[in-house]
Chain A
Amino acid sequence: DADVTQTPRNRITKTGKRIMLECSQTKGHDRMYWYRQDPGLGLQLIYYSFDVKDINKGEISDGYSVSRQAQAKFSLSLESAIPNQTALYFCATSDPRGGGEDTQYFGPGTRLTVL
Chain B
Amino acid sequence: GQSLEQPSEVTAVEGAIVQINCTYQTSGFYGLSWYQQHDGGAPTFLSYNGLDGLEETGRFSSFLSRSDSYGYLLLQELQMKDSASYFCAVDNYGQNFVFGPGTRLSVLP
Q: Which residues of A does B touch, CB under 8 Å? A: 33, 35, 40-45, 48, 56, 58-59, 90, 96, 99-109
* Measured CA separation A102–B101 after assembly (Å): 20
* Measured CA separation A61–B77 after assembly (Å): 41
Report the contact-size class of chain B (Cβ under 8 Å from the partner): 20 to 34
Q: Which residues of B does A touch, CB under 8 Å? A: 4, 30-31, 33, 35, 41-45, 48, 50, 87, 89, 91, 94-102, 104
The reply to whether B102 and A105 form a contact with Cβ atoms under 8 Å apart is no
- Give chain B's interface secondary structure class: strand
The 7 A-B residue pairs with the shortest CB-CB distance, nearest first, are A106-B42, A42-B99, A43-B99, A42-B101, A103-B45, A101-B48, A100-B50
- Interchain Cβ contacts under 8 Å between A and B, 30 examples: A35-B99, A41-B102, A42-B99, A42-B100, A42-B101, A43-B43, A43-B87, A45-B96, A45-B97, A45-B98, A48-B96, A56-B95, A58-B96, A59-B98, A90-B42, A90-B43, A96-B94, A99-B50, A100-B30, A100-B31, A100-B50, A101-B50, A102-B48, A102-B94, A103-B33, A103-B45, A103-B48, A104-B35, A104-B89, A108-B42
